Structure 1
Amino acid sequence: MTVRVLTEQDWPAAARLYAQLNTKASFVADAKAQANFAKVLRHDGTFIYGAHLNGEVQAMATLHLMPNVTYGGRPYGLIENVVSDKAARGLGLARAEMEAAIEEAWLANAYKVMLLTGQQNEAVGFYEKMGFSSDDKIGMILRRP
């Protein structure tokens, strides 16, 4: 297994994983989605880490390093869109990509790394094993009607 930052050439694998990410959200692997993937990759402070098994991207996670005014101007990390291919779950791929993203945040001197996950998501235990906690903060979302 290897972990690296994805590039635009990884779009086909990323599209396959995005389709598995959230079956409630509409995702279409079209030219617009591909352009948005490229835009995210070019965004300063954003990294999409991919875990590769047998040369194929089998899992990915996005890290956004956000500028900040408090904490001496140190950034914070936001991890989103963590997904492993259904056939490759339980192999440590998500852990490896998450560890790479977290290390990137610490190298950038981030004072914290946070993420949101669904309340009914079986991944909660996975994130807790990695050291994430919901003790300090409550995540809240406002969606556009």
Structure 2
Amino acid sequence: MTGLCRPLTVADYADARQLYAALSTGHSLINFEDGLGAFAALLSHPGTTVMGAARDGRIVSMATLHLMPNMTYHGRPFGLIENVVTLPDARGQGFARAVMMALADTAQDANAYKIMLLTGRVNDAKGFYERLGYNADEKHGMILRLDRPS
């Protein structure tokens, strides 16, 4: 399955947009045209990789890894994974696992000392991440929302 994983490019935007729509509740999704520019900016951000897994030439699962510079752990970076999503008809087939493993390899190749992620309490993803070796034993994940009313 890992052979089906690759970093996404701007040419993958239509598939990525469909995945973002599956992830989003709709309130945070930007329109198609503006989204292309935001996607291009994301892909060109230093230290960022959006990894996708394909089935029949279509991206059906993806996640974003941000590698962050760091002053501890001998200056080794750490990773933050966001927006892990698989299309509903492709779930349970190993695509997300392949994406997550490819991103772990990317972080390892960059000499990162850890990868962090947050997952919602409402979905069933916690067990998925635990099976990949992630745990919540050491730290508490916390969020400060900075959304501004329009």
What is the TM-score with the length of structure 1 in the denominator?
A: 0.96
Of residues 6, 9, 29, the one that matches 2:8 is 6
CA contact (8 A) 1:117 1:123 kept: yes
Equivalent residue number for residue 63 of structure 1? 65
Match of 1:91 in 2: 93
- Tell me the equivalent position of 2:143: 141
Give aligned pairs, total: 145
Question: Which residues of 2 match residues 45-56 of structure 1 at below 5 A?
Answer: 45-56=47-58
Partner-residue secondary structure (3-state), 1:127: helix
For residues 31-84 of structure 1, give each alpha carbon's deviation from its aligned partner in whole angstroms, at most 9, with x where no partner exists. Answer: 211101000000011000000011110000000000000110000000000000
| Identity among equivalent pairs (%) | 52
Q: In 2 relative to 1, CA 52–139 (structure 1 residues): closer, same or farther, beyond 3 Å?
A: same
- Please give the root-mean-square deviation of Cα atoms over the aligned residues, in Å: 1.1
Distance of 1:144 and 1:28 partners within structure 2: 17
Moved >3 Å (runs of 4+): none
Query: Does the 8 Å contact 1:15/1:29 carry over to 2?
Result: no
State which of 68, 76, 98 in structure 1 corresponds to 2:78.
Answer: 76
**2:111 is aligned with 1:121:** no
Question: In the alignment, which of 15, 18, 21 is matched to residue 20 of structure 2?
Answer: 18
Q: Which runs of 5+ in 2 are unaligned?
A: none
